[in-house]
């Protein structure tokens, strides 16, 4: 990629990590090629997690297939079901009631909060800072409780159905009250944490200048989401999504592209999410939450891109007799794998896991379509 | 209660193996050990990542093909007495991935955990709740305490 | 009659130290880490006492190692070395002459460090190379590179620890030598009983700080845990220990914590560990305070890489040299 990084010398040894490793948590194989403990090359093998969700979706009724996409990932489950429903809505021309859109946005932003907090906690754990990790898990618990209150489950809480949201996810006065209180509390806790985090000299010295991805490289590697924004490229699909038309928020960017800017991007995005949720609570429109007046018909392959906590999520399928055909899903972590391998090069082996974690990997999402060629 | 059982009950080392679940159970289990709200250490449950140190193996996920051999190896590396807790619907019976190819044997899923290694306690849920994980660990304890 | 008194002193001191050292990991975990992390934490007996007892009751397995017997013997050797180290600090043993000098103490600590290297190079855990995974398939990058176990990596790091990482603690040991002009523990203790503890001088304070950093590095506690950091080498040299040998590893750590604190009390406060001397209570207090401060430090710091490790060691060593210069002036 870069000239001075490409200039590699003799590779001394290979350090294989995984598929069970405390730094990684998820099962994947990582081969680090080191020379005197400095990583010269890295190779990541995904596909360990491949279960074939698209294969199972093939031929299922569209409602069932939508709720199946939830099981792709336990972290961004709502995003998957949201985007999958969005494909159906675009294909069938269903108009979603405004209240349902607002509830979807609230769920999406709560999910972004919990995903980013989890990311920060995992990052702290890989840094070796157990106290920060525990603190973040504690803050995250507030979000989990809110998600459980609205979605009914702590993890698989997907709210969207074709044409609106589930009746379970209706926000009545009590829930709105609890939501706004929870968000206030969260803001306070996050503020404290962010102040503590940026003023910690030991942590800052550990993460500054490590795992740098330059913006041009990030674009060439096709990174997406916060990973791209942390390198200084202002790109957020939320600015173009009709769901976010009535919300005001800033697109957070950082300049350096190192682990510090990656972590800080997530910290600041949390505050933007809080802002969006507060706007949504304030302006929550009245009306129905599902639009049931639509008819099933055959449609060609339709695609939809949305911004999820980790980046750009792509879903596409065609409908035939109300059943899903040719389902393709591309998750953001797939796009960020290049950045993970690239940013680890040239750093100490202890930082290698950190460089991977900074791109917010989710390999259960990533292990999608893999073509098995038998020779 | 003998010293043997007493000491086993007072220090339980838990190892986690993720075998291709959706991350939901995995994070809830990590949450149950790392989050100060649940804090499994107050129940004398310690997290370890070394099979030689572990007493209880917590397995999540439907065991994908690539994870089958590593899981066996790790199970073999744990010294007796040991217990296995399968957590989550996928680990118990394959979850949504069960029978994903109908009658054709699956190329991706090696089947639920109890087809690979003997399972002692099963924690249902999609995803498992942290409270249930602690309960599942406790229900596997008598097996450890009464072993030789 | 002349032999009973020293015998009681030696055995009593060793036994008390051993019992106290068993509680240290629990105190560290329950009262410091858990308090800082705002949780309840484990019972105080669990990490230090019950865990080793539990490991004694587990099935003994053959570790994956080219020399399993030697590998299993290493923790025993290292615990014996620590016992010898504690033994030579006890005043009743000062008749041993050269063995009760700073040089002997440094030698024993060096052997302790070399143990890490042996452990690392003899362990072949399932977690890295031996994990069955078909990743050297067609199309893989650099398919013929020699592969390294995590433990070999931490063995290399143990070598660096010997080469430069343990500078601070050795320099700190020489502060008291420079102050008293003798390498014998007898003279160091006698000097401090006559002139007051070294700790309350300028070079003593600097020396104590240096000693403390060296103590953390030698114990591999969290900011300096390059041998057994979770992000890369998991547990490093200890990966293959199971059953009772792991229990020895657990006991060794607590005992080393206690012994190093005793060494500090001897060299900087002039209180040699002796159960029959009422000042022994100060030794115990030092042995409690040291792990507590260490736990606070480790709870608030991430793991260091060489980028932070080299400057820390270099800076602390310079402070140590300054302390020696101040002591000589």
Average pLDDT value over all residues in chain A: 87
Model confidence at A181, in pLDDT bands (50, 70, 90)? Answer: very high
- Does pLDDT of A375 surpass 70? no
Higher-confidence residue of B101 and A108: namely A108
Predicted local confidence at residue B58, as pLDDT: 92
Predicted local confidence at residue C247, as pLDDT: 92
Q: Count of CB atoms within 10 A of residue B101's CB? A: 14
- Exposed/middle/buried for B77, CB within 10 Å: 0-12, 13-18, 19+? buried
Residue A233 maps to a domain: yes
Q: Where are the alpha helices (DSSP H) in chain B?
A: 3-10, 24-34, 65-77, 89-93, 130-146
> Percentage of residues in chain B with pLDDT exceeding 70?
96
Beta carbons of C96 and C88 less than 8 angstroms apart:
yes
Query: Tens digits of per-residue pLDDT, B68-120?
Result: 888 999 999 999 889 999 998 888 888 788 776 666 777 778 878 888 899 99
Beta carbons of A132 and A118 less than 8 angstroms apart:
no
∠ CA C10-C16-C21, rounded to 5°: 125
Instruction: Give the nearest partner residue to A43 out of C140, C148, C299, using CB atoms.
Output: C140
Query: Tens digits of per-residue pLDDT, A48-88?
Result: 888 778 888 888 899 889 988 888 888 888 899 999 999 99
Model confidence at A299, in pLDDT bands (50, 70, 90)? Answer: very high
CATH number, domain of A72, equals 1.10.645.10
List chain C residues with CB under 8 Å of B51. Answer: 126-127
Query: Tens digits of per-residue pLDDT, A116-155?
Result: 999 999 999 888 888 999 999 999 999 999 999 998 888 8
Residue A340 maps to a domain: no
Domain housing A193? 52-334
List chain A residues with CB under 8 Å of C303. Answer: 127-128, 206, 350
Return d(Cα C150, Cα A16) in angstroms, integer.
9
For the ranges A7-11, B124-128, C43-47, which has the lowest average pLDDT?
A7-11
Model confidence at C1, in pLDDT bands (50, 70, 90)? Answer: low
∠ CA A288-A292-A293, rounded to 5°: 115
Instruction: Give the nearest partner residue to A154 out of B21, B95, B129, using CB atoms.
Output: B129
Chain A contact present for B94, CB below 8 A = no
Predicted local confidence at residue A9, as pLDDT: 54
Instruction: Give the nearest partner residue to A74 out of B24, B67, B108, using CB atoms.
Output: B24
- What number is the average pLDDT over the span C285-297? 92
Predicted local confidence at residue A41, as pLDDT: 87
Domain boundaries, chain C: 4-128+149-328
Predicted local confidence at residue A374, as pLDDT: 52
- Does pLDDT of B1 surpass 80? no
Closest C-alpha among A350, A334, A362, A364 to residue A32: A350
Domains in chain B (CATH in brackets) are 3-146 (3.40.50.12280)
Predicted local confidence at residue A184, as pLDDT: 94
Structure tokens at C213: 């950093």
Model confidence at A2, in pLDDT bands (50, 70, 90)? Answer: very low
- What number is the average pLDDT over the span A246-253? 91
- Compute CA distances A13 → A5, A176, A270, A349, whole Å: 18, 57, 40, 12
Under the phi-then-psi rule, with left for phi > 0, alpha for psi from -120 to 50, and beta for the rest, what region is B63?
Answer: left
Instruction: Give the nearest partner residue to A118 out of B17, B27, B127, using CB atoms.
Output: B27
Residue A7 maps to a domain: no
- Does pLDDT of A5 surpass 60? no
Residue A277 maps to a domain: yes
Predicted local confidence at residue A46, as pLDDT: 79
**For chain A, which chains pass the contact test of at least 3 CB pairs under 8 Å?**
B, C
State whether A11 and C145 contact (CB < 8 Å).
Answer: yes
Inter-axis angle of helices C243-269 and C185-195, to 10 degrees? 50
Closest C-alpha among C13, C74, C33 to residue C262: C13
- Compute CA distances C245 → C52, C229, C281, whole Å: 9, 21, 31
Query: Tens digits of per-residue pLDDT, A29-46?
Result: 888 888 888 888 888 887
Q: How far is A201 from chain C (nearest CA, A)?
A: 9
Residue A129 maps to a domain: yes
Q: Count of CB atoms within 10 A of residue A196's CB? A: 12
Residue A346 maps to a domain: no
Q: What's the N-to-C CA distance of chain C in angstroms?
A: 46
Model confidence at A1, in pLDDT bands (50, 70, 90)? Answer: very low
State whether B20 and A121 contact (CB < 8 Å).
Answer: no
Asked, as a colleague might, if the bond just before A35 is cis with ω within 30 of 0, I would say no
- Classify the C-alpha dihedral B38-B44-B49-B55 as positive or negative: negative
What are the residues facing A176 on neighbouring strands? none
State whether B96 and A48 contact (CB < 8 Å).
Answer: no
Structure tokens at C208: 């104590």
- Does pLDDT of A185 surpass 90? yes
- What 3-state DSSP class applies to B109? strand
What domain count does chain A have? 1
Q: Residue B24: phi, psi to the nearest 5?
A: -65, -55
Predicted local confidence at residue C79, as pLDDT: 92
Residue A33 maps to a domain: no
Query: Tens digits of per-residue pLDDT, A339-354?
Result: 888 888 888 888 888 8
Average pLDDT value over all residues in chain C: 88
Query: Tens digits of per-residue pLDDT, C58-116?
Result: 888 888 888 899 999 999 999 999 999 998 888 888 888 788 889 999 999 999 888 88
- What number is the average pLDDT over the span A223-246? 89
- Does pLDDT of C270 surpass 90? no
């Amino acid at each position: 990629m870069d000239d001075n990084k490409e200039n590699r010398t003799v590779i001394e040894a290979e350090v294989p990590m995984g598929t069970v490793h405390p730094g990684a948590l998820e099962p994947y194989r990582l081969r680090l090629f080191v020379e005197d403990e400095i990583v010269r090359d890295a190779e990541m093998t995904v596909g360990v997690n491949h279960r074939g969700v698209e294969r199972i979706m093939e031929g299922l009724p569209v409602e069932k297939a939508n709720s199946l996409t939830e099981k792709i990932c336990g972290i961004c489950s709502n995003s998957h079901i949201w985007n999958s429903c969005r494909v159906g809505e675009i294909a069938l021309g269903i108009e979603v009631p405004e209240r349902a859109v607002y509830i979807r946005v609230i769920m999406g932003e709560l999910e972004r909060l919990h995903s980013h907090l989890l990311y920060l906690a995992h990052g702290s754990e890989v840094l070796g800072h157990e106290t920060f990790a525990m603190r973040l898990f504690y803050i995250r618990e507030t979000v989990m409780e809110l998600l459980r209150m609205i979605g009914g489950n702590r993890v698989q809480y997907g709210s969207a159905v074709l044409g609106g949201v589930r009746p379970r996810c209706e926000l009545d006065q009590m829930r709105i009250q609890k939501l706004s209180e929870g968000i206030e509390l969260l803001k306070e806790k996050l503020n404290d944490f962010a102040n503590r985090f940026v003023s910690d000299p030991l942590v800052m010295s550990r993460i500054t200048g490590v795992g740098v991805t330059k913006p041009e490289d990030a674009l060439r590697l096709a990174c997406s989401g916060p990973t791209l924004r942390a390198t200084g490229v202002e790109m957020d699909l939320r600015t173009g999504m009709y769901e976010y038309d009535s919300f005001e928020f800033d697109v957070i960017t950082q300049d350096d592209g190192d682990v510090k800017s990656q972590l800080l991007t997530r910290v600041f995005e949390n505050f933007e999410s809080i802002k969006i949720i507060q706007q949504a609570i304030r302006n929550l429109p009245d009306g129905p939450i599902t639009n049931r007046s639509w008819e099933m018909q055959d449609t060609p392959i339709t695609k939809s891109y949305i911004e999820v906590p980790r980046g750009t999520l792509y879903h596409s399928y065609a409908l035939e007799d109300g059943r899903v055909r040719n389902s393709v899903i591309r998750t953001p972590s797939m796009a960020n794998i290049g950045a993970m391998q690239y940013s680890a090069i040239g750093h100490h082996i202890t930082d290698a896991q950190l460089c991977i974690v900074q791109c917010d990997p989710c390999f259960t999402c990533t292990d999608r379509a893999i073509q098995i060629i038998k020779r | 209660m003998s010293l043997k059982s007493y000491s086993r009950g007072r220090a339980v080392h838990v190892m986690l193996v993720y075998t291709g679940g959706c991350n939901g159970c995995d994070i809830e289990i990590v949450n149950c050990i790392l989050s100060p709200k649940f804090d499994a250490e107050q129940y004398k449950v310690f997290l370890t990542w070394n099979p030689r140190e572990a007493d209880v193996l917590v397995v999540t996920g439907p065991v994908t093909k690539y994870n089958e051999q590593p899981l066996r190896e790790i199970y073999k590396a744990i010294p007796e007495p040991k217990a296995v807790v399968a957590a989550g619907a996928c680990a118990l019976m394959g979850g949504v991935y069960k029978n994903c190819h109908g009658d054709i044997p699956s190329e991706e899923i090696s089947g639920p955990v109890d087809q690979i290694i003997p399972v002692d306690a099963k924690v249902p849920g999609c995803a498992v709740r942290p409270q249930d994980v602690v309960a599942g660990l406790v229900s596997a304890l008598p097996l450890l305490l009464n072993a030789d | 009659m002349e032999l009973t008194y020293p015998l009681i002193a030696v055995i009593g001191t060793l036994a008390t130290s051993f019992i106290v050292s068993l509680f240290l990991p629990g105190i560290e975990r329950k009262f410091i880490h858990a308090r800082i992390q705002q949780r309840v934490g484990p019972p105080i007996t669990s990490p230090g006492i019950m865990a080793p007892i539990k490991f004694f009751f587990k099935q003994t397995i053959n570790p994956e190692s080219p020399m399993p017997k030697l590998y299993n013997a290493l923790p025993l050797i290292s615990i014996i070395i620590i016992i010898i180290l504690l033994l030579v600090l006890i005043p009743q043993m000062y008749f041993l002459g050269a063995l009760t000098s700073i040089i002997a103490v440094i030698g024993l600590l060096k052997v302790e460090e070399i143990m890490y290297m042996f452990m690392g190079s003899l362990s072949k855990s399932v977690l890295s190379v031996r994990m069955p995974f078909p990743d050297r398939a067609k199309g893989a990058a650099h398919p013929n590179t020699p592969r390294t176990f995590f433990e070999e990596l931490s063995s290399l790091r143990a070598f660096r620890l010997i080469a430069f990482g343990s500078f601070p603690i050795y320099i700190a040991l020489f502060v008291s030598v420079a102050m008293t002009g003798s390498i014998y523990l007898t003279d160091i203790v006698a000097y401090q009983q006559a002139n007051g503890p070294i700790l309350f001088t300028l070079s003593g304070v600097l020396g104590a700080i240096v000693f403390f950093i060296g103590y953390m590095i030698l114990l591999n506690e969290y900011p300096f845990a390059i041998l057994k950091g979770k992000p890369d080498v998991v547990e490093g040299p200890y990966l293959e220990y199971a059953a009772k040998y792991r229990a020895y590893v657990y006991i060794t750590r607590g005992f080393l914590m206690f012994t190093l604190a005793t060494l500090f009390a001897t060299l900087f406060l002039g209180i040699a560990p002796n159960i029959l001397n009422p000042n022994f209570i100060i030794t115990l207090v030092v042995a409690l305070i040291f792990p507590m401060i260490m736990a606070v430090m480790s709870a608030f710091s991430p793991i260091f890489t060489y980028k932070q490790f080299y400057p820390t060691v270099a800076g602390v060593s310079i402070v140590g040299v300054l302390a020696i210069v101040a002591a000589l002036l």
